[in-house]
Amino acid sequence: MGGVLIGLAVIGVVIAVGYIAARCGLGGEPTVSALTRTAFFITNPVLLFTVVLKSDLAVVFSAYVPLALLTAGITALLYVTLSRLWFRRPLAETAVGAMASSYVNANNIGIPITVYALGDATPVAPVLLVQLLLFAPLVLTVLDLSAAGRFSPRRMLTQPFRNPMIIASLLGVVLAAFHVQLPEPVMAPLSLLGGAAVPVVLLAFGMSLHGNRILHSGGHTAEILTATALKSAVMPAVAFAVGRFVFNLEHHMLLGVVLMAALPTAQNVFLFANRYSRGKTVARETVLLSTAAAAPVLILAVWLLAG
């Protein structure tokens, strides 16, 4: 289970560094805000651009893509339904909770885990692209419109093209579709900036944990536990059911689908929530709890389906 444990351990160490830095007085709310703004406007857009640019877009139309859409969509819809029946939170907070329950850490955990369990990272690219090009733009548009304070059809249609991460992803798709290869002097600084995206977000996340007690969330405990349960248990079960009984996947592909669904909530959910100051507690604690739950869930999935 080396790939599972190594992927989780790397993330845990960087988060711990951020937490220790905050305890030592090196980071507080202003630092977290500065880091998340840097990630939102600079490092994450560059990372998304380089990831999409290097992706094989033919993979987008493989069986993994409809599975990724259905699995995440069903899980997010379950959260929205429970929110309407139980939590009754505003639209922006509901969108963050739905994202926390269905948006997986495909990049920095998914790659080592799929390489270890399957021998390649084929299932990662479709999930990344579905999340980057569909789910992230949808949630960001909801958050943008909520921040604007009023509904405007024109603003709704144009808002995705004002967001740096969406713009970067779409630009990457266009260049990849035309098989454009950027020269090394251009790619080198982009790779350097993109490489800073994950540690910047993880450090900010670790710093945000200082002074916050888990599940002492001012009335958000039910939302946090619901999002965590959906992400950690329900989403992998949905992936298995859809892959096995709807798409009739062969064993190797089915394992890949379940492993991707069992990944913890991505730190980008916290990044979005912090950027718009909506659902920050739910995002932060779901990321933390789902990451803690990921190791046994992933190990169980490999044990049950591998072989």
List the beta bridge partners of residue 217: none
Q: What is the pLDDT along the chain (307 residues), one digit of tens a residue?
A: 565 667 667 778 888 999 999 999 887 788 988 998 898 889 888 887 887 788 777 765 677 889 999 999 999 999 999 998 988 888 999 999 999 999 998 866 776 677 667 766 668 878 887 887 788 888 888 888 887 666 556 655 665 566 787 788 788 888 988 989 999 999 999 999 988 888 888 898 888 878 766 666 567 888 999 999 999 999 999 999 999 999 998 888 898 899 999 998 998 899 889 888 999 999 989 998 998 888 888 888 888 886 5
* Residue closest to 240 by CA, chosen among 261, 220, 219: 261
Cα 23 to Cα 302: distance, rounded to the nearest angstrom: 37
pLDDT score of 156: 58
DSSP reduced 3-state for 160: helix
pLDDT for the residue 183: 94
Q: Helix crossing, 280-305 with 2-23: angle to 10°?
A: 160
> From the CB of residue 112, how many other CB atoms can be counted at a distance below 10 Å?
19
CA–CA separation, 119 vs 20, rounded Å? 36
The helix-helix angle for 91-102 and 267-276 (nearest 10°) equals: 170
Does pTM top 0.85 for this prediction?
Answer: no
Report whether 118 contacts 254 (CB < 8 A). no
Rounded to whole angstroms, the Cα distance separating 98 from 72 reads: 9
Beta bridge partners of 234: none
Residues 278, 92 contacting (CB under 8 angstroms): yes
- Decide: 89 and 278 in contact? Cβ < 8 Å: no
CA 157 to chain centre: 24
Backbone angles phi, psi at 89, to 5 degrees: -90, 160
Amino acid 299: pLDDT: 84
Helix (H, G, I), strand (E, B) or coil at 104: strand
- Say what the pLDDT of residue 98 is: 96
Q: Which two tokens stand for residue 210?
A: 């200082």
Quick one: pLDDT at residue 114? 75
